[in-house]
Amino acid sequence: SLRRGISATPSAHLHHRGYSSESAPERKVAVLGAAGGIGQPLALLMKLNPLVSKLALYDIAGTPGVAADVSHVNTRSEVAGYVGEEQLGQALEGCDIVIIPAGVPRKPGMTRDDLFNINAGIVKTLCTAIAKYCPHALVNMISNPVNSTVPIAAEVFKKAGTYNEKKLFGVTTLDVVRAKTFYAGKAKVPVGGVDVPVVGGHAGITILPLFSQATPKANNLSDDDIIALTKRTQDGGTEVVEAKAGKGSATLSMAYAGAVFADACLKGLNGVQDVVECSFVQSSITELPFFASKVRLGKNGVEEVLGLGHLSDYEKQGLESLKPELKSSIEKGIKFANQS
């Protein structure tokens, strides 16, 4: 710009580089599984994010069409499609963030763990390539079972010598999105201003919403209301799987949640202060090696894993009940990565 052109000193020049889409730093984001139910709307939402300058869409099939389609949207980022494993390296090169919604979704009657046999191998392959082509990227893991795929990714990166615990995230934002929606509906407060932390993991009872910390405070909710809200949040994924009746699981709300989380990661990378989201990360706030809680995001990924805060007796019980399942899902992931 003209103002930038007439800046007298380097610092004045930097000063003018404010936080607008034109001057935001270059950021490359890849979506792996971009032709899928989540991948397509997520690709669109990332194309709408002015913080993205390059958008790489990778899948084993279908990405040229998705990329051609999305690329016509008149926003900042340059879009490219990559198809097949021989193009995976190109898709990943130079990435700041890699979002992974690759893998099979649930059908009615299945648990997320029933997806392990197929998705564990997919995640392992993709993470091996990430270690090779963009070892410094933030990884946003969406593929289920998240409680196991995140530990798998960590083990793959450790073996490759690239593991950085600050850069690996299990995406649990959809649990937060649901908790906020359900709470606002029950408490009859405007949803836009609602915040609810969700901790633990991302499957059944390992999903622990902390409604005692929800804001704004609602005085009209009974203990039974809180129990019902908790169960609905824990079963939110199953609610969608059953409604879709064999045609997959949440895709649109997940794409929204994935876009919210990636945007928070981008803001953190760009130095925006006080960016906090819940995520399943390496953690020492409980005895489990990975745990979802509020995380402060910064220039290197995780800046700080925040503690659980004060829990109600009901939440304390929920926390103790979820630990055995979460522990065994984590161990299953670690074992898979080290034996195969």
Tell me if 278 contacts ligand NAD by CB under 6 A: no
Contact 119, 143 (CB under 8 A): yes
CA distance 222 to 172: 26
CA distance 8 to 12: 7
> Nearest 5°: phi and psi at 271?
90, 10
Among 31, 179, 254, 278, binds ligand NAD (CB under 6 A): 254
Tell me if 240 contacts ligand LMR by CB under 6 A: yes
26: amino acid identity, one letter: E
- Name which of residues 47 to 66 contact ligand LMR (CB under 6 A): none
Q: Residue 164, annotated ligand binder?
A: no
- Name which of residues 277 to 316 contact ligand LMR (CB under 6 A): none
Q: Which structure tokens are listed for 114?
A: 């029933």
Contact 213, 276 (CB under 8 A): no
- Name which of residues 141 to 160 contact ligand LMR (CB under 6 A): 144
182: amino acid identity, one letter: F
Closer residue to ligand NAD, CB minimum distance, 52 or 176:
176
Among 249, 279, 282, 286, binds ligand LMR (CB under 6 A): 249
* Residue 171-190 contact track with ligand NAD, rule CB under 6 A, x = bound: x--x----------------
Question: Nearest to residue 199, comparing CAs of 278, 254, 110?
Answer: 278
Q: Residue 254, annotated ligand binder?
A: yes
Q: Residue 59, annotated ligand binder?
A: yes
Tell the burial category of 310 from Cβ atoms under 10 Å away from its Cβ (0-12, 13-18, 19+): exposed
Q: Residue 33, annotated ligand binder?
A: yes
Among 251, 279, 283, 293, binds ligand NAD (CB under 6 A): 251
Tell me if 81 contacts ligand NAD by CB under 6 A: no
- What is the contact surface with ligand LMR in residues (CB under 6 A)? 105-106, 112, 144, 174, 236-237, 240-241, 249-250
Catalytic residues: 202
